[in-house]
Amino acid sequence: MAFHNELGKKGEELAKEFLQNVGYTILESNFVFQKAEIDIIAQKEDTLIVVEVKTRSSIDFGNPQDFVNPKKIKLLVKAIDEYVNLKNLDLSIRFDIISVVHDKGNFTIEHFEDAFYHF
Q: Could you tell me the pLDDT band of residue 119, with boundaries at 50, 70 and 90? A: very low
The strand order across the sheet containing 106-112 reads 25-33, 36-44, 47-56, 92-103, 106-112
Number of DSSP helices (H) and strands (E) in the chain, helices first: 2, 5
Kindly report, residue by residue over 35-55, the tens digit of the pLDDT.
999 999 999 999 999 999 988
What is the pLDDT, as a whole number, of residue 1?
Answer: 45
Supply the CATH classification number for the domain 2-112.
3.40.1350.10
Q: Could you tell me the pLDDT band of residue 103, with boundaries at 50, 70 and 90? A: confident
What is the pLDDT, as a whole number, of residue 5?
Answer: 81
Kindly report, residue by residue over 7-37, the tens digit of the pLDDT.
889 999 999 999 999 999 999 999 999 999 9
Kindly report, residue by residue over 42-91, the tens digit of the pLDDT.
999 999 999 999 888 876 777 666 778 889 899 999 999 999 999 999 99
**Structural domain boundaries of the chain?**
2-112
User: How far are the Cα atoms of 40, 56, 68 from residue 64, in angstroms, in the given order?
Assistant: 16, 6, 8
